[in-house]
Amino acid sequence: MMPLLSLAGVSRVYARGSRPVHALDDVTLHIECGEFVSVTGPSGSGKSTLLHVLALLDTPTAGRYELAGADVARLADTERARLRNRRIGLVFQSFQLVSHLTVVENVELPLVYRGVESRARRASACAALERVGLAARLSHLPDELSGGEQQRAAIARAVVAEPDVLLADEPTGNLDAAATQTILEIFENVHRTGTTVVVVTHNPRVAASARRRYEMRCGTLRPVAAAQDGA
Amino acid sequence: MRVGDVIEDAVRGVRLYRVRSLLTAVGFAAGTAAAIALFAITGGARAEILRRLGELGIDLVAIRPVGEARRTDPPALTYGDVEDLRRSLRFVREAAPVRAIASSVLLPTERVSVRAVGTTPEFFHLRRLRFARGRSFTAREVARGDRVCVLGAAAARRLVRGGEAYGALVKIGGNWYRVVGVLTTEVSGAPDSSGEQANPEREVYLPITHTFAPDAFRRQGLAEAWLALAPSVEADSAAPVIERALERRHDGRQHFEVNTAARLVAEHRATRGLLNRLLLLVCCAAFLLGAVGMTTVSWQNVRDRSREIAIRRAVGARRGEVLAQFLFEGIVVAAAGAAAGVVVGVAGSGIAAWANGWPWMLSPLAALASIAAALGVAAAATLYPAAYAAALDPVAGLRFER
């Protein structure tokens, strides 16, 4: 079976002054459709860079990246934006909601860029918000919500366009234990619908909920052995 | 992304920074108002030139007295001058002296004030006046001093009520005149040298011999004179010759003006040119200030919203869509300013034209051109910040925390 996401020998080197920084160093990763994968690692190990490359927000310096069998590493910006809009949902640690848009307008955003007619996208956004338990908060501004609620709204925005893969960067980093549990349950529900989930996290509980786990250190990725599970 | 969504996003963006947007719109309102005023006043001037050119014709020269004449001064233009020009200048094909006097017509129930115009038959021909009934008076009738007259259409309705004007007797200034012709209504007014509105439709035309005191036929002043030139002679070449001939007759004094089509255009350019240049300067300065303001504000908006831009890019916005969003924000601000500017420009220039007695005419095309100029300037002013927004690295923007 063809992997949904496939990285082969991917590197990402930043120039910081005259010194090159190897954020990703020869990373190889294959994620099948419908998998739940977590990536852990210390700060600065390259987790977020990996997620940005997977999300087509960043371009690898070397290596090959295939999304559903198609080489996407060096696509034009327009095509990358189109793929991001149609196949990828993104969740960030700091929620990244547009502060002057209401919750429902934030959730509609991916559909706006897909050219969906306003009534249809409002219906989809309401359904997505209902799935994360925010049906009563449609017309609130993000600042009027708690952290947990904002992250639920962000997840609703990530899944409203029914992407193939949900990429989450420290989704519980700013949340308390109860809110973390709610987010985990939502991820489980999303995963159960067949969506591939990739979570980058510091949180062992979140990492443990994944079926397959990886660890990043100094830009290199290695699988976490089954014996280490539950650590 | 749909066009409606782009506009909706742009309006939202404008409302996000209301004060900034309002201040930027003021520049565009001022620029558009100045452009509208410029178009309205130059449009009116152009219409007036065209009307006067139509009145003058390409082969006609009009001579009119100018300036305030003292009672002791000899007249600036006399019947004798016109006769002399006709005799001495071979290129003068025809001449029509015009003397205008205020008179009155006695009706059974009232006395009606009229403007009596004393002239010769050539006048009707040179001014292209057409007759609804009858004819002009003849040279023989003028020479004999026959009591005949021609009425403008409106004058005929006023002076001969409930009957046929043609052939009727009308008592003008104490004497009875037979109406030998009535003009059509296809004539328009033109101010004469005294500023009084001359309107062939409302006037009463008499043989010029009846408007002079019997002993002062050649010496009394004329309101104007019309000369028709030979086809081979250009009016602009003939005008200086006519001026010199008249100056010689008046001992070097020049209390008259000789108008040709080209001179009219030059006169209008000279009198309105300064105002037009001033308005053009205001218009350019206002648009320039608006453009500088808009670039600054757009630039600040992009910097303040780099995180929002990154979020939009992360959910699938293409660079072109981000560019369109910021470009339309500028255009929406300029459109609001331009709409206000149209109102201010129309009202302001209308009041100024009314107060100064200038003609005012604004074509819809000119109004659209003013609005288009505002929108074009706004688009140009916003283009660089919008392009910068579109080129922002989304990863860097997502790292940005408020």
- pLDDT tens, residue by residue, A40-54: 998 888 999 999 999
Q: Is A73 helix (H, G, I), strand (E, B) or coil?
A: coil
Predicted local confidence at residue B50, as pLDDT: 66
Residue A105 has a pLDDT of 95
**Residue A230 — very low, low, confident or very high, per pLDDT cuts 50/70/90?**
very low
Write out the residues of chain B at the interface with chain A, using a CB-CB cutoff of 8 A. 1-2, 4-5, 12, 16, 307-308, 310-321, 394-395, 398, 401-402
Which pLDDT belongs to residue B232? 79
The mean pLDDT of A59-74, rounded to a whole number, is: 90
Separation of alpha carbons B232 and B91, rounded Å: 8
Average of per-residue pLDDT across B223-246: 86
From the list A81, A92, A157, the residue facing B313 with the nearest CB is: A81
Distance CA B359, CA B345 (A): 15
Specify the residue for token string 């006043």: B41
Q: How far is A3 from chain B (nearest CA, A)?
A: 23
- A121-145 pLDDT, tens digit per residue, is 999 999 999 999 999 999 999 999 9
Helices (H) and strands (E) in chain A, counts: 7, 10
- Do A112 and B1 lie within an 8 Å CB cutoff? yes
Pairwise CB contact (< 8 Å): B5 & A112: yes
A106-115, A206-215, B15-24, B349-358 — which is least confidently predicted?
B349-358
φ and ψ at residue B82, rounded to 5 degrees: -65, -45
Binding-face residues of A in 106-125 toward B, CB within 8 A: 109-110, 112-115, 117-118
Average of per-residue pLDDT across B237-248: 89
Q: What angle do CA A86, A69, A222 make, to 5 degrees?
A: 100
* Cβ contacts from A onto B, under 8 A: 68
Q: What is the pLDDT of residue B191?
A: 41
B94 vs B329: CA distance, rounded Å: 66
Determine the pLDDT at residue B188.
43
Please report the pLDDT score of residue B269 as a whole number: 64
User: What is the distance between the alpha carbons of residues A214 and A54, in angstroms, rounded to a whole number?
Assistant: 15
Q: Could you tell me what percent of chain B has a pLDDT over 70?
A: 86
pLDDT digits 0-9 by tens, A188-214:
999 999 999 999 998 888 899 898 999
- Which pLDDT score is estimated for A81? 94
Reply yes or no on whether the pLDDT at A228 is more than 70.
no
CA distance B166 to B176: 14
Q: Is the pLDDT of residue B333 over 90?
A: yes
3-state SS string for chain B: CCHHHHHHHHHHHHHHCHHHHHHHHHHHHHHHHHHHHHHHHHHHHHHHHHHHHHHHCCCEEEEEECCCCCCCCCCCCEHHHHHHHHHHCCCEEEEEEEEEEEEEEECCCCEEEEEEEEECHHHHHHCCCCEEEECCCCHHHHHHCCCEEEECHHHHHHHCCCCCCCCCEEEECCEEEEEEEEECCCCCCEECCCCCEECCCCCEEEEHHHHCCCCCCCCCECCEEEEEECCCCCHHHHHHHHHHHHHHHCCCCCCEEEECHHHHHHHHHHHHHHHHHHHHHHHHHHHHHHHHHHHHHHHHHHHHCHHHHHHHHHCCCCHHHHHHHHHHHHHHHHHHHHHHHHHHHHHHHHHHHHHHCCCCCCCHHHHHHHHHHHHHHHHHHHHHHHHHHHHCCHHHHHHCCC
The dihedrals phi and psi of B228, each to the nearest 5 degrees, come to -100, 130
Residue whose pair of structure tokens reads 């639920």 in the numeric block: A152
Tokens found for residue B284: 């350019």
For A161, phi then psi, to 5°, come to: -95, 15
Q: Which residue has the higher pLDDT, B269 or B192?
A: B269
**B144-174 tens-digit pLDDT:** 889 999 999 888 888 888 788 899 998 888 8
Q: Does A97 touch chain B (CB under 8 A)?
A: yes
What pLDDT was estimated at residue B324? Answer: 93
- Which of A184-188, B98-102, B112-116 has the highest mean predicted lDDT (pLDDT)? A184-188
Pair A45, A25: CB distance under 8 Å: no
Interface test with B, best of A112, A114, A117 (most B CBs within 10 A): A112
Question: What residues have CB less than 8 Å from B261, skipping those under 6 apart?
Answer: B53, B56, B57, B58, B235
Q: How confident is the model at residue B402 (pLDDT cuts 50, 70, 90)?
A: very low
pLDDT band, residue B187 (cuts 50/70/90)? low
pLDDT at A107 > cutoff 90: yes
Nearest to B101 by CA among B256, B222, B225: B222
C-alpha triplet B123, B126, B131: angle, nearest 5°: 70
- The confidence score (pLDDT) of residue B173 equals 84
Contact B312 A98 (CB under 8 A): yes
Q: According to the model, what pLDDT value does residue B193 have?
A: 41
- Name residue, tokens 């980093």: A173
What confidence category does residue B386 fall into, taking pLDDT thresholds of 50, 70 and 90? very high
d(CA B358, CA A81): 59
Mean pLDDT for chain B overall: 83
pLDDT at A1: 66
Our CA-based measurement puts residue B308 at a distance from the nearest CA of chain A, in whole angstroms, of 6
Which single residue is written with the structure tokens 């294959």? A30
How much is the average pLDDT of B307-329? 94
- Average of per-residue pLDDT across A5-29: 89
Least CB-CB distance to B315: which of A52, A78, A109? A109
Name which of B177, B219, B200 is nearest B75 in CA terms: B219
Strand pairing class (A36-40; A196-200): parallel
Which tokens go with B322? 């981000």
Is B282 a residue whose pLDDT tops 90? no
State yes or no: pLDDT of B196 exceeds 60: no
pLDDT computed for residue B271 by the predictor: 60
Nearest CA in chain B to A98: B308
Contact A96, B307 (CB under 8 A): yes
Residue in the block written with tokens 């990285």: A7
What is the predicted pLDDT for the residue at B339? 93
In terms of CA atoms, which chain B residue is nearest residue A112? Answer: B1
